[in-house]
Amino acid sequence: MTAASFPYLRMRRGRSAPWMREMLAEHRLHPSDFIWPLFVCEGRDCEEPIGSLPGVSRWSVDRLAGKAKEAAALGIPCVALFPNTPEGLRTGDAGEALNPDNLICRAIRAIKDAVPEIGVLTDVALDPYTSHGHDGLTDEQGNVINDDTVAILAHQALVQAEAGADIVAPSDMMDGRVAAIREVLEAAGHQNVAIMAYAAKYASAFYGPFREAVGSQGRLKGDKRGYQMNPANIDEALREVELDLAEGADFVMVKPGLPYLDVVARVRDAFGVPTFVYQVSGEYAMIEAAAAAGAGDRDALILETLIAFKRAGATGVLTYHALDAARLLNG
Ligand code: PBG
């Protein structure tokens, strides 16, 4: 039997009514697909809008639980926390990252106390704590020193786990950090604290607004190409994922999102493990700018980019649009 062809086969039949299109949808978005990144600042009753991320603010710890509550009420399963460390606490050795009472640890405890039903993911990297804005310790030439940094990252992850983090997410791209973190967590009895490895993280121009949000922008000397990946590479991404999984990563992440959908698809196909994608700050800013310029409908742009991640095979998406998208989907 040969396959039907026109006019007996008409693909438009499947698009002829809303119910038909809904019935035939191959992928769907749900609020549980989202992880919502939140920025935290010192102070009381503070909201600090971030200029390059219209609609996104830093919140003081006392306001943070309210944001997490909103997310939970919309069906968002997890928030990701990023601190804006006060100027005076940023040093060459990133010592504040290991302070059990630092901003991020207080933020974790506040959310866990007030909204125990939502997951808390924390970033493991030193850039919010270093005076030079790099993700690790640097030598005299400004190169990031791998192994010394890994030891600190493992300690940083432990401090976050002790404060109540459910998922620690190393975003630093040092070699060997996943194994070091897993070992420290196991030894301290944190068997259920998961590791989401930023496995394929690219040296991207789309991180600009994030660096403003965490206050590392002006201070960054040089760039991060000595540890983050070259945007030209994809075989290398598969190797990175393979290594992180071998070291004990529970879930992996690709970052940024939209310009790297091919990487998401390859990773998901090759490994079949929970694969997350970070729709990063510059992507958010791009959508907001397009909508503000009248170049597209904001809601439609948000949902179309998010379904693209699902189509590529992503398990979930870290997105600053999480709340908006969940509202649209619940509405
Ligand atoms: C830092 C980190 C970055 C992001 C998440 N964790 C920035 C960077 O690597 O410079 C970017 C997220 C975003 O742009 O939204 N380790």
DSSP-assigned letters across all residues of 163-208: HT-SEEEE-S--TTHHHHHHHHHHHTT-TT-EEEEEEEEB--GGGH
For ligand 1, residues with CB inside 6 Å are: 123, 125, 127, 135, 171-172, 207, 210-211, 224, 280-281
Q: Average pLDDT in the 217-225 region?
A: 90
Among 67, 201, 224, 310, the active-site one is: 201
> Before 128, cis peptide (omega within 30)?
no
pTM metric for this prediction: 0.97
Examine residue 168 and state whether it is found in any structural domain, yes or no.
yes
Q: In this structure, what CATH number is given to the domain that contains residue 46?
A: 3.20.20.70
Q: Predicted confidence band at 1 (pLDDT cuts at 50, 70, 90)?
A: low
Domain count, the chain: 1
Q: Which of 127, 277, 320 to mutate to test the pocket of ligand 1 (most atoms within 8 A of CB)?
A: 127
Which domain covers residue 129, as residue numbers?
29-220+230-330
Assess whether 255 carries a catalytic annotation: yes
Identify residue 25 by its one-letter amino acid code: A
Examine residue 12 and state whether it is found in any structural domain, yes or no. no
The answer to whether residue 18 is domain-embedded is no
The pairing of beta strand 57-60 with beta strand 194-201: unpaired
**286 found inside a domain:** yes
Is 35 within the bounds of a domain? yes
pLDDT tens per residue across span 276-325: 999 999 999 999 999 999 999 999 999 999 999 999 999 999 999 999 99
For residue 284, being part of any structural domain is answered with yes
Q: What is the pLDDT of residue 111?
A: 98
Give me the pLDDT at residue 218, please.
86
Look at residue 145 and tell me if it is in a domain: yes
| Residue 149 belongs to some domain of the structure | yes
Ligand 1 centroid–CA 17 distance in Å is: 42
Ligand 1 centre distance from Cα of residue 43 (Å):
23
